[in-house]
């Protein structure tokens, strides 16, 4: 089964705190919806640009796109 990394981008002085807080909500959401999510984390590219991301099954992508509106996604090899 293919895996997809969903990414939410945050910019500005509060990007790091916002991305970390978003990860809390991602954990809560996948538990509530019983979705198999993994590697929920933040990635800091600069003080002003941080991403929150998670890896899910490709089958769950349509549901997650509709509900959580990730900014982008990429296949995981």
- The model's pLDDT over 10-69, given as tens digits with 9 standing for 90+, comes to 999 999 999 999 999 999 999 999 999 999 999 999 999 999 999 999 999 999 999 999
Q: Can you give the C-alpha Rg of the chain in angstroms?
A: 12
Pairing of strands 72-76, 3-11: antiparallel
- Map out the domains of the chain with their CATH numbers: 3-76 (3.30.70)
Give the pLDDT score at 7: 98
Q: Which residues contact 14 (CB under 8 A, 6 or more apart)?
A: none
67 phi and psi, to 5 degrees?
A: -80, -40
Give the pLDDT score at 1: 81
**Mean pLDDT across 69-74:** 97
Q: Which residues contact 29 (CB under 8 A, 6 or more apart)?
A: 35, 67, 68
């Amino acid at each position: 089964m293919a895996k997809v990394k969903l990414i939410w981008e945050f910019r500005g002085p509060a990007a790091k705190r916002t991305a970390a807080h978003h990860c809390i909500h991602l954990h809560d959401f996948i538990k509530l919806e019983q979705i198999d999510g993994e590697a929920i984390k933040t990635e800091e590219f600069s003080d002003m640009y941080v991403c929150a991301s998670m890896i899910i099954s490709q089958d769950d992508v349509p549901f997650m796109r509709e509900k959580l509106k990730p900014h982008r996604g990429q296949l995981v090899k």
